[in-house]
Amino acid sequence: MASFPKLVFVLLAWTVSLVLAVQNVEVQGSDYINNVTSDRFQIIGVAYQPGGSAGFVAGSGVDPLSNGTLCLRDAALMQRLGINTIRVYNLDPSLNHDLCASIFNAVGIYMLLDVNSPLPNESLNPGDLTSSYNSAYLNRIFAVVEAFKNYPNTLGFFGGNEVIQAPGTEGTVPPYLRAVTRDLKNYIAKNSPRNIPVGYSAADVRDYLADSFAYLSCDIDGASSDRSRIDFFGLNSYSWCGAEATFHSAGYDILVEMFSNTTIPIFFSEYGCNEVKPRVFNEVQALYGPNMTSVMSGGIVYEYVQEASNNFGLVDLYDNGTAAIRGDYDALQKQYNKLDIKALQSGNASATTLKSPPCSANLITEAGFAKSFKIPSVPTGGQTLIDDGIENPNVGKLVPVTQTTVQVAVYGSNGGLIKDLAIKPLPQDRSNTPNGQDTSGSPSASGTSTGAKPKSTSGVGRASFDVLLGSLAFVAFVVLYA
């Protein structure tokens, strides 16, 4: 019989190694479906790119998912906001993302990740497609897959963002987007422990929008196994502007009609017009209402962080790590809190069995849009990368999240300090949902708020309890004193 000390050690080691994970979400027909609960998954998300594209610097050792302290701060605010998905645009696959990915996993937030970046040779160049589509580029995008393939909250990869936009790109870019999609999906099939969807994020250029969707989502030669077909389609749409906008005036009715026969999930990969201030986000009720949920799978608000070059942010972030909620955050939270989550999770059995149409020039309506479905071959050296995997990949993994209380000061939109701000790890099979909490910093908020927002001083939150250490102490107590 094992001695008490040895038994305690074994039980403590087991507790330390225990890391809960969200359930995978997969594409079934035109819906996202939780593969355990079979609930429909609607994206309730925000774009997350601190510093913007200009803040992504090669060799800096920093990207949006590399600093656990800052991710903890933002995950706590996002959890209260009620989102279940973040979109991250620019990532360095050589960095360690384990803690950030694990924090977002703990609070039931999934990640949609762009594989490209604005750095040289890390995206397709529409003006020089032949040269930019090469094995070095494939190595870059495959490295992103390696870095994030093992996180269960990786919801999907964007193979491109607004590449079909400028006049002329509609005739040349589409075959290359299908080639990149094929290469990513083949790499995932050979080198990932699970299937991870690959899609495209389109600009809302109405002349090209329907054709972009039709071209990228059909099956070449009618083969359902065609890996050059996208698994989902994102749309960056800013047509709903201000409180007076409606389902019809914003053209949402046109979008619903345009995509009414979709066989893959479609969602707003960006939305949140700021031409009318303050933003009230009343489009949320339309997007998650009965007129749109039969076609759309939610959306991603642009954006979490206030950038100096625009006025889209929900939160101000300061160089010392502190943060302050903006009025847009409060307005969005109020809209999310009105949603009927149970209704959104109700699936449509027929939607999950839809099959993509065979590719045909008849699917394309614009004269200048690509009509040939002959796509480029894998560039020299690319197939070896797919078959053997890239060299020395930086492969991520979930790690225990032992710190739950935010360690920097965060202020409400009224300037009051939000006290006791922390993440609340969720049960294993749950994604985050709006919870009705008010995070404005008012006295009614969870945790009292005091003081005023500083401009340059750092703040440290109350010392937190370590969840895993608490578990260890409990196990030790039971074994020693039972």
| Closest residue by Cα to residue 161 from 197, 129, 199 | 199
- Cα–Cα distance, 84 to 90 (Å, whole number): 20
Residue 270 among the catalytic residues? yes
Q: Which pair of tokens denotes residue 216?
A: 């990228």
- Which of 26, 170, 270, 303 does the annotation list as catalytic? 270
- HSE-up of residue 93 (Cα within 13 Å, Cβ side): 25
Q: How many CB atoms sit inside 10 A of residue 365's CB?
A: 10
101 membership: H or E segment, kind and range:
helix 98-106
Residue 26 among the catalytic residues? no
332 membership: H or E segment, kind and range:
helix 327-336
Determine the Cα angle at 12 with ends 11 and 17, to 5°: 100
Contact 134, 379 (CB under 8 A): yes
Give the contacts of 205 (CB within 8 A, at least 6 positions apart): 164, 165
| Closest residue by Cα to residue 459 from 444, 468, 446, 449 | 449
- Which of 162, 257, 303, 307 does the annotation list as catalytic? 162
Contact 199, 208 (CB under 8 A): no
| Closest residue by Cα to residue 101 from 133, 134, 64 | 64
User: Which residues are the active-site residues?
Assistant: 162, 270
